[in-house]
Amino acid sequence: MSGILYLVGTPIGNLEDMTFRAINTLKTVDLIAAEDTRHTGKLLQYYDIVTPQISYHDHNRKQREPEIIERLQQGKTIALVTDAGMPCISDPGYDLVRACVEAKISVVPIPGVTAAITALAVSGLPTNRFVFEGFLPVKGKSRKERLQLLQQETRTIILYESPHKLKQTLQDLGESLGRDRAVMLGRELTKYYEDFHYATLEEAILFYNQQTPKGEYTLVIAGKAETEEMDLSVEEIKTELKQLLAQGVTRSQASRQLATMTSLSRQEIYQLSLDLSD
Protein backbone atom coordinates (compact mmCIF):
# COMPACT_ATOMS: atom_id res chain seq x y z
CA MET A 1 0.00 0.00 0.00
CA SER A 2 1.34 3.43 -0.97
CA GLY A 3 2.17 6.04 1.61
CA ILE A 4 0.94 9.62 1.77
CA LEU A 5 2.48 12.92 0.73
CA TYR A 6 1.43 15.71 3.10
CA LEU A 7 1.63 19.33 1.93
CA VAL A 8 2.26 21.15 5.18
CA GLY A 9 1.80 24.89 5.49
CA THR A 10 4.46 26.58 7.60
CA PRO A 11 4.74 30.15 8.99
CA ILE A 12 5.54 33.02 6.62
CA GLY A 13 7.39 34.77 9.44
CA ASN A 14 6.07 34.32 12.97
CA LEU A 15 6.91 30.80 14.14
CA GLU A 16 3.76 30.67 16.27
CA ASP A 17 1.56 30.63 13.16
CA MET A 18 1.66 26.82 13.09
CA THR A 19 -1.48 24.72 13.46
CA PHE A 20 -1.67 21.81 15.90
CA ARG A 21 -2.34 19.54 12.94
CA ALA A 22 0.77 20.74 11.10
CA ILE A 23 2.97 20.17 14.16
CA ASN A 24 1.52 16.71 14.75
CA THR A 25 2.00 15.80 11.08
CA LEU A 26 5.65 16.83 11.07
CA LYS A 27 6.22 14.81 14.24
CA THR A 28 4.63 11.62 12.93
CA VAL A 29 5.69 11.35 9.27
CA ASP A 30 8.68 9.24 8.32
CA LEU A 31 10.47 12.04 6.48
CA ILE A 32 10.29 15.78 5.81
CA ALA A 33 11.21 17.08 2.34
CA ALA A 34 12.25 20.70 2.90
CA GLU A 35 13.17 23.52 0.53
CA ASP A 36 16.03 24.51 2.85
CA THR A 37 16.80 22.01 5.61
CA ARG A 38 18.69 24.60 7.66
CA HIS A 39 15.77 27.03 7.56
CA THR A 40 13.23 24.31 8.38
CA GLY A 41 15.57 23.00 11.07
CA LYS A 42 14.92 26.16 13.12
CA LEU A 43 11.17 25.53 12.96
CA LEU A 44 11.61 21.88 13.92
CA GLN A 45 13.83 22.82 16.85
CA TYR A 46 11.27 25.40 18.05
CA TYR A 47 8.61 22.66 18.27
CA ASP A 48 10.92 19.82 19.41
CA ILE A 49 10.42 17.86 16.18
CA VAL A 50 13.15 15.31 15.46
CA THR A 51 11.86 13.85 12.17
CA PRO A 52 14.71 13.47 9.63
CA GLN A 53 14.87 15.80 6.62
CA ILE A 54 15.98 15.69 3.01
CA SER A 55 16.25 18.68 0.69
CA TYR A 56 13.76 19.29 -2.10
CA HIS A 57 14.08 22.52 -4.05
CA ASP A 58 14.06 23.92 -7.58
CA HIS A 59 17.66 22.92 -8.26
CA ASN A 60 17.42 19.25 -7.24
CA ARG A 61 13.73 18.42 -7.67
CA LYS A 62 14.23 16.37 -10.86
CA GLN A 63 16.75 14.16 -9.09
CA ARG A 64 14.78 13.97 -5.84
CA GLU A 65 11.34 13.18 -7.25
CA PRO A 66 12.03 9.54 -8.24
CA GLU A 67 13.53 8.91 -4.79
CA ILE A 68 10.54 10.46 -3.00
CA ILE A 69 8.03 8.62 -5.20
CA GLU A 70 9.84 5.32 -4.55
CA ARG A 71 9.70 5.86 -0.77
CA LEU A 72 6.01 6.72 -0.95
CA GLN A 73 5.31 3.59 -3.00
CA GLN A 74 7.04 1.61 -0.25
CA GLY A 75 4.44 2.93 2.18
CA LYS A 76 6.41 5.78 3.75
CA THR A 77 4.74 9.04 4.80
CA ILE A 78 6.46 12.26 3.73
CA ALA A 79 5.73 15.90 4.55
CA LEU A 80 6.64 18.51 1.96
CA VAL A 81 7.40 21.98 3.35
CA THR A 82 8.82 25.19 1.90
CA ASP A 83 10.64 28.02 3.60
CA ALA A 84 7.39 29.94 4.11
CA GLY A 85 3.70 29.31 3.51
CA MET A 86 2.03 26.57 1.51
CA PRO A 87 4.06 24.31 -0.78
CA CYS A 88 3.39 24.80 -4.51
CA ILE A 89 2.32 28.48 -4.13
CA SER A 90 5.26 30.32 -5.78
CA ASP A 91 7.37 27.57 -4.21
CA PRO A 92 8.54 24.07 -5.20
CA GLY A 93 6.07 21.19 -5.16
CA TYR A 94 3.89 21.29 -8.27
CA ASP A 95 5.89 18.66 -10.16
CA LEU A 96 6.02 16.34 -7.16
CA VAL A 97 2.27 16.59 -6.58
CA ARG A 98 1.61 15.88 -10.25
CA ALA A 99 3.92 12.86 -10.11
CA CYS A 100 2.04 11.57 -7.05
CA VAL A 101 -1.32 12.01 -8.76
CA GLU A 102 -0.08 10.11 -11.81
CA ALA A 103 1.27 7.32 -9.56
CA LYS A 104 -2.05 7.21 -7.64
CA ILE A 105 -0.33 8.21 -4.39
CA SER A 106 -2.51 10.08 -1.89
CA VAL A 107 -1.74 13.80 -1.43
CA VAL A 108 -3.16 15.43 1.72
CA PRO A 109 -3.05 19.21 2.29
CA ILE A 110 -2.40 20.52 5.80
CA PRO A 111 -3.49 24.16 5.37
CA GLY A 112 -1.43 27.03 6.66
CA VAL A 113 -0.70 30.71 6.21
CA THR A 114 -0.22 32.12 2.71
CA ALA A 115 1.20 35.60 2.18
CA ALA A 116 -1.12 36.37 -0.75
CA ILE A 117 -4.34 35.78 1.21
CA THR A 118 -2.94 37.41 4.36
CA ALA A 119 -2.16 40.60 2.44
CA LEU A 120 -5.43 40.53 0.51
CA ALA A 121 -7.46 40.35 3.73
CA VAL A 122 -5.87 43.52 5.11
CA SER A 123 -5.63 45.42 1.81
CA GLY A 124 -8.98 47.18 1.96
CA LEU A 125 -9.47 46.24 -1.71
CA PRO A 126 -12.20 43.94 -3.09
CA THR A 127 -11.69 40.34 -1.96
CA ASN A 128 -14.59 38.65 -3.76
CA ARG A 129 -12.66 38.32 -7.03
CA PHE A 130 -8.85 38.39 -7.29
CA VAL A 131 -5.98 37.06 -9.36
CA PHE A 132 -2.64 35.85 -7.98
CA GLU A 133 0.29 36.57 -10.29
CA GLY A 134 3.17 35.57 -8.01
CA PHE A 135 6.40 37.12 -9.29
CA LEU A 136 6.27 39.00 -12.60
CA PRO A 137 8.71 37.87 -15.31
CA VAL A 138 12.01 39.60 -14.58
CA LYS A 139 12.46 41.43 -17.88
CA GLY A 140 12.08 41.42 -21.63
CA LYS A 141 9.12 40.55 -23.83
CA SER A 142 7.46 38.21 -21.32
CA ARG A 143 7.37 40.94 -18.66
CA LYS A 144 5.96 43.49 -21.09
CA GLU A 145 3.27 41.07 -22.28
CA ARG A 146 2.25 40.19 -18.73
CA LEU A 147 1.90 43.87 -17.83
CA GLN A 148 -0.19 44.44 -20.95
CA LEU A 149 -2.56 41.66 -19.92
CA LEU A 150 -2.87 43.14 -16.43
CA GLN A 151 -3.96 46.47 -17.93
CA GLN A 152 -7.42 45.01 -18.55
CA GLU A 153 -7.64 42.94 -15.34
CA THR A 154 -10.74 43.97 -13.38
CA ARG A 155 -10.05 41.67 -10.43
CA THR A 156 -7.83 42.66 -7.51
CA ILE A 157 -4.22 41.76 -8.40
CA ILE A 158 -1.74 40.15 -5.98
CA LEU A 159 2.01 40.14 -6.67
CA TYR A 160 5.14 39.10 -4.79
CA GLU A 161 8.32 41.16 -5.07
CA SER A 162 11.82 41.21 -3.62
CA PRO A 163 13.25 44.44 -2.16
CA HIS A 164 15.89 45.01 -4.84
CA LYS A 165 13.31 44.80 -7.65
CA LEU A 166 10.49 46.71 -5.97
CA LYS A 167 11.28 50.19 -7.34
CA GLN A 168 11.38 49.00 -10.95
CA THR A 169 8.21 46.97 -10.53
CA LEU A 170 6.33 49.95 -9.09
CA GLN A 171 7.57 52.08 -11.98
CA ASP A 172 6.47 49.50 -14.55
CA LEU A 173 3.08 49.05 -12.88
CA GLY A 174 2.56 52.81 -12.83
CA GLU A 175 3.30 53.10 -16.53
CA SER A 176 1.11 50.12 -17.40
CA LEU A 177 -1.86 50.45 -15.04
CA GLY A 178 -1.84 54.18 -14.37
CA ARG A 179 -0.22 55.94 -11.44
CA ASP A 180 -3.56 56.70 -9.77
CA ARG A 181 -4.26 52.97 -9.20
CA ALA A 182 -4.66 52.03 -5.53
CA VAL A 183 -2.08 49.67 -4.03
CA MET A 184 -1.30 48.14 -0.65
CA LEU A 185 2.28 47.07 0.00
CA GLY A 186 2.60 44.48 2.75
CA ARG A 187 6.18 44.17 3.99
CA GLU A 188 7.65 41.39 6.17
CA LEU A 189 4.23 39.89 6.87
CA THR A 190 3.81 38.50 10.43
CA LYS A 191 7.43 39.40 11.29
CA TYR A 192 8.74 41.94 13.79
CA TYR A 193 8.98 44.74 11.20
CA GLU A 194 5.62 44.00 9.56
CA ASP A 195 4.31 47.07 7.78
CA PHE A 196 1.31 47.94 5.59
CA HIS A 197 1.57 50.91 3.24
CA TYR A 198 -1.68 52.11 1.62
CA ALA A 199 -1.16 54.41 -1.36
CA THR A 200 -1.58 54.98 -5.07
CA LEU A 201 1.15 53.70 -7.37
CA GLU A 202 2.26 57.32 -7.80
CA GLU A 203 2.60 57.79 -4.04
CA ALA A 204 4.39 54.45 -3.65
CA ILE A 205 6.87 55.36 -6.40
CA LEU A 206 7.64 58.69 -4.74
CA PHE A 207 7.93 57.09 -1.29
CA TYR A 208 10.43 54.44 -2.41
CA ASN A 209 12.44 56.96 -4.38
CA GLN A 210 13.32 58.34 -0.93
CA GLN A 211 13.33 55.07 1.03
CA THR A 212 15.35 51.91 0.48
CA PRO A 213 13.01 48.89 0.24
CA LYS A 214 13.74 46.30 2.91
CA GLY A 215 12.27 42.85 3.35
CA GLU A 216 9.93 40.80 1.18
CA TYR A 217 6.85 42.49 -0.27
CA THR A 218 3.33 41.42 -1.18
CA LEU A 219 1.55 43.94 -3.41
CA VAL A 220 -2.24 44.08 -3.63
CA ILE A 221 -3.40 46.31 -6.49
CA ALA A 222 -6.90 47.49 -7.39
CA GLY A 223 -8.26 46.04 -10.61
CA LYS A 224 -9.38 48.18 -13.52
CA ALA A 225 -12.83 49.69 -12.97
CA GLU A 226 -15.27 47.57 -14.99
CA THR A 227 -17.20 50.62 -16.15
CA GLU A 228 -14.07 52.45 -17.26
CA GLU A 229 -14.00 53.15 -20.99
CA MET A 230 -11.15 54.37 -23.15
CA ASP A 231 -11.94 57.11 -25.64
CA LEU A 232 -10.09 55.49 -28.53
CA SER A 233 -10.29 56.44 -32.17
CA VAL A 234 -10.85 53.77 -34.81
CA GLU A 235 -7.15 53.86 -35.68
CA GLU A 236 -6.18 53.44 -32.04
CA ILE A 237 -8.53 50.46 -31.73
CA LYS A 238 -6.92 48.93 -34.80
CA THR A 239 -3.51 49.41 -33.21
CA GLU A 240 -4.72 47.67 -30.04
CA LEU A 241 -6.15 44.85 -32.17
CA LYS A 242 -2.86 44.37 -34.00
CA GLN A 243 -0.97 44.09 -30.71
CA LEU A 244 -3.42 41.56 -29.26
CA LEU A 245 -3.50 39.46 -32.43
CA ALA A 246 0.31 39.48 -32.54
CA GLN A 247 0.27 38.01 -29.01
CA GLY A 248 -1.82 35.07 -30.24
CA VAL A 249 -5.18 36.33 -28.98
CA THR A 250 -8.03 35.34 -31.32
CA ARG A 251 -10.16 37.94 -33.11
CA SER A 252 -13.15 36.97 -31.00
CA GLN A 253 -11.22 37.25 -27.72
CA ALA A 254 -9.63 40.56 -28.74
CA SER A 255 -13.01 41.99 -29.78
CA ARG A 256 -14.61 40.95 -26.50
CA GLN A 257 -11.74 42.42 -24.49
CA LEU A 258 -11.70 45.77 -26.30
CA ALA A 259 -15.51 46.04 -26.16
CA THR A 260 -15.25 46.42 -22.38
CA MET A 261 -12.92 49.39 -22.87
CA THR A 262 -14.68 51.37 -25.59
CA SER A 263 -18.14 52.45 -26.70
CA LEU A 264 -18.00 50.14 -29.74
CA SER A 265 -19.75 46.77 -29.64
CA ARG A 266 -17.93 43.45 -29.89
CA GLN A 267 -19.37 42.92 -33.40
CA GLU A 268 -18.12 46.33 -34.59
CA ILE A 269 -14.63 45.66 -33.23
CA TYR A 270 -14.62 42.17 -34.77
CA GLN A 271 -15.38 43.73 -38.16
CA LEU A 272 -12.44 46.10 -37.68
CA SER A 273 -10.22 43.09 -37.01
CA LEU A 274 -11.31 41.55 -40.32
CA ASP A 275 -10.47 44.81 -42.08
CA LEU A 276 -6.87 44.52 -40.85
CA SER A 277 -6.21 41.63 -43.22
CA ASP A 278 -7.66 43.45 -46.22
List, in order, residues 6 or more apart from 103 with CB less than 8 Å away: 2, 69, 72, 73
Q: Which of 213, 209, 108, 210 is nearest to 166 (CA)?
A: 213
* CATH number of 116-221, picked from 3.40.50.1820, 3.40.50.300, 1.10.1520.10, 3.30.950.10: 3.30.950.10
Fold designation for 4-113: Cobalt-precorrin-4 Transmethylase; domain 1 (3.40.1010)
pTM listed for this prediction: 0.78
Query: What b/e string do you get for 126-139 counting C-beta neighbours within 10 Å, with b at 16 or more?
Result: eeeebebbeebeee
Question: What is the spatial distance between Cα 5 and Cα 97, in angstroms, rounded to a whole number?
Answer: 8
Taking only the tens of pLDDT, the chain with its 278 residues reads 789 999 999 999 999 999 999 999 999 999 999 999 999 999 999 999 999 999 999 999 999 999 999 999 999 999 999 999 999 998 889 999 999 999 999 999 999 999 999 999 999 999 999 999 999 999 888 999 999 999 989 999 999 999 999 999 999 999 999 999 999 999 999 999 999 999 999 999 999 999 999 999 999 999 988 655 556 778 888 888 888 888 777 888 888 778 767 777 888 888 888 888 65
Question: What is the spatial distance between Cα 223 and Cα 153, in angstroms, rounded to a whole number?
Answer: 6
Contact 185, 199 (CB under 8 A): yes
Question: What is the spatial distance between Cα 23 and Cα 21, in angstroms, rounded to a whole number?
Answer: 5
